[in-house]
């Protein structure tokens, strides 16, 4: 017997591994001023590279922190600094040349004054997905066996490909009465619509910015503004479905002076366009012959299909009490939030994303002193994908503002953006060879068989070593897959 072969081209999942590691580092002050007390803090993580090695993935990146503090003279200072890291995540079966993608999120962090400015301790979750696109060699047939029966699985194999990218600078002037300077700023971006016009993608959405500001007397406050945008990005190739991912590379806010009552926004944004190509592939999963004995050799395969990307923006509001032993509230100053996803429920077409907003609130007491306290605020958001997926990757981002709500309470308003990549892992068994064996003698005659729920004509015909065509001829009214206890007649 001589096998014939064919190659299956599909993205296959090699492995997925989640791990949590501690990332620590110094955050030196750029002008040499040393913080006496940390008033506000924010942190995000950037993965620069994920490299597949033998049975592991090496990850390099940095934690970027925003520090708002009082220096030794009681003056408010703010700066951004970063601490680099390198981690290794073990995944069996990984080898050089495979594609590794790492999604990282900070689960908890603390920033404290240090000799160089500040230091950060962060607990980071790493979600590493490794795939290969090397063609899979499977059985296509066996020469010399005229009654070979092949069972095949038809699998959807949507593949995502980048079809365009552009880095665009967005500028806008924002109303800001009474603002003399911007102490610190952050923002997020949400894509709301993508349309195709004359070979380009027209992308519309909104950037939400949050700024800690000071007036001419140095009093701190916070403002949030939403800046709509509509930009055109050239497509390198056409696609039936076009999706857009957007991320802010840098964001600068600058006060133009109280006389102008304006703040200028300068944001560098990278827009990435993706198209998803839908196709179906046939994979041989089993084989037998009524006349020749052999065992079919099978190998597990997990096909990873992409069903696009999505983004949702929502508002969360929460009234938060001051801690029992906290000083009396005169006025809230500013707040920041780090969202953490705790679970993603994929039952059904609409995913439910649950998480916690790790929130830091800075306020001024009736005695004129500044205090900071923390609160964890839960959230739950429905993120519709339009179809079932079992392996989504969701990345959160949030900015927030604080206002008074009572004598000892404040209200936090969050602008929460969730970005999702809809991945679906389909597990199958591929026939990759055979091993000869002797045919087993079977009694001949008429056999009445009672099927189990979900059994197919291939399952029954293989069990009794008869051609599928004969099974169908003798049972013309039966439809595969069969019902529990369905009676079938065979001639063996």
pTM: 0.86
Three-state DSSP at 16 gives: strand
> Which of 3, 85, 89, 71 lies closest to 32, judged by CA?
71
Tell me, what's the pLDDT at 385? 64
> Which of 402, 336, 331, 334 lies closest to 41, judged by CA?
336
- Listed by start position, the domains of the chain span 13-131, 159-277, 440-492
> Which of 393, 431, 422, 401 lies closest to 16, judged by CA?
393
Q: Do 16 and 126 contact (CB within 8 A), yes or no?
A: no
| 315, two tokens | 């508002």
| 445, two tokens | 């005659």
What is the pLDDT tens value at each position of the chain, 492 positions in all?
A: 678 899 998 899 999 999 999 999 999 998 888 889 999 888 889 999 999 999 999 999 999 998 999 988 888 889 989 999 999 999 999 999 999 999 999 999 999 999 889 999 999 999 999 999 999 999 888 888 888 999 999 988 888 899 999 999 999 999 999 999 999 999 999 999 999 998 899 999 999 999 999 998 889 999 999 999 999 999 998 887 899 999 999 999 999 987 889 999 999 999 999 998 888 899 999 999 988 888 889 999 999 998 888 899 999 999 999 999 999 999 999 999 999 999 998 876 778 999 999 999 999 999 999 999 999 999 999 887 666 788 999 999 999 999 998 889 999 999 999 999 999 999 999 999 888 888 777 768 899 999 999 999 999 999 999 999 999 999 999 999 999 999 999 988
Tell me, what's the pLDDT at 152? 92
Tell me, what's the pLDDT at 230? 97
Tell me, what's the pLDDT at 1? 63
3-state SS record for 277-326: ECCEEEEEEEEECCCCCEEEEEEEEEEEEEEEEEEEEEEEEEEEECCCCC
Tell me, what's the pLDDT at 410? 96
Give the C-alpha distances (Å, rounded to integers) separating 472 from 287, 450, 490.
18, 15, 9
Q: What is the CATH code of the structural domain delimited by 440-492? A: 3.10.350.10
Query: φ, ψ for residue 461 (rounded to 5)?
Result: -65, -40
Gap between the Cα atoms of 226 and 170, Å rounded: 13
In sequence order, the β-bridge partners of residue 114 are 117
> Which of 271, 186, 190 lies closest to 231, judged by CA?
271
Residues in the chain: 492
Three-state DSSP at 9 gives: coil
Containing H/E element for 213? strand 200-214
Tell me, what's the pLDDT at 483? 93
Tell me, what's the pLDDT at 75? 87
Which residues make Cβ contacts (< 8 Å) with residue 363, sequence separation at least 6? Answer: 322, 329, 330, 331, 332, 333, 370, 371, 402, 410
């Amino acid at each position: 017997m001589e096998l014939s072969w064919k190659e299956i081209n599909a993205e296959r999942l090699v492995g997925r591994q989640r791990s949590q590691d501690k990332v620590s580092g110094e955050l030196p002050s750029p002008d040499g001023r040393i913080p006496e007390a940390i008033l506000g803090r924010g942190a995000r993580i950037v993965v620069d590279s994920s490299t597949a090695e033998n049975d592991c993935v090496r990850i390099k990146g940095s934690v970027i922190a925003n520090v708002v503090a009082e220096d030794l003279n009681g003056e408010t200072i703010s700066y951004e600094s970063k601490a680099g890291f390198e981690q290794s995540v073990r995944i069996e079966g990984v080898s050089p040349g495979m594609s590794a993608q790492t999604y990282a999120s900070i689960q908890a962090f603390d920033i404290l004054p240090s000799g160089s400015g500040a230091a950060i301790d962060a607990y980071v979750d790493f979600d590493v997905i490794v795939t290969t696109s090397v063609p899979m060699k499977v059985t296509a047939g066996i020469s010399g066996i005229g009654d070979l029966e092949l069972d095949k699985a038809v699998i959807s194999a949507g593949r995502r490909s980048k079809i365009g990218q552009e880095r665009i600078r967005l500028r806008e002037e924002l109303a800001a009465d009474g603002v003399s300077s911007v102490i610190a700023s952050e923002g997020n971006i949400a894509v709301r619509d993508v349309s195709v016009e004359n070979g380009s993608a027209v992308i519309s959405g909104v950037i939400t910015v949050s700024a800690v500001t000071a007036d001419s007397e140095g009093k701190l406050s916070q403002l949030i503004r939403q800046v709509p945008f509509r930009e055109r990005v050239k497509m390198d190739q056409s696609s039936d479905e076009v999706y857009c991912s957007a991320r802010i590379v840098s964001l600068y806010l600058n006060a133009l002076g109280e006389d102008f009552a304006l703040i200028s926004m300068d944001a560098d944004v990278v827009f990435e366009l993706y198209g998803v190509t839908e196709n179906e592939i046939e994979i041989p999963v089993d084989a037998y012959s009524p006349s020749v004995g052999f065992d079919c050799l099978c190998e597990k395969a997990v096909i990873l299909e992409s069903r696009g990307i999505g983004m949702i923006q929502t508002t969360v509001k929460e009234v938060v009490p001051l801690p029992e032993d906290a000083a009396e509230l005169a006025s809230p100053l500013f707040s920041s939030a780090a969202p953490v996803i705790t679970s993603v429920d994929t039952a059904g077409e609409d995913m439910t994303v649950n998480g916690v907003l790790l929130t830091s609130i800075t306020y001024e007491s009736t005695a004129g002193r500044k205090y900071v306290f923390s609160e964890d605020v839960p959230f739950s958001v429905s993120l519709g994908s339009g179809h079932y997926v079992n392996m989504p990757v969701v990345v959160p981002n949030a900015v927030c503002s604080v206002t008074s709500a009572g004598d000892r309470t404040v209200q936090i308003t969050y602008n929460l953006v969730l970005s999702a990549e809809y991945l679906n892992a389909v597990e199958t068994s591929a026939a990759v060879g055979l091993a000869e064996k002797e045919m087993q003698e079977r009694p001949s005659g008429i056999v009445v068989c009672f099927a189990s729920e979900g059994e197919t004509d291939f399952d029954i015909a293989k069990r009794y070593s008869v051609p599928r065509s004969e099974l169908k001829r003798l049972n013309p009214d039966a439809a595969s897959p069969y019902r529990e206890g369905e009676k079938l007649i065979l001639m063996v």
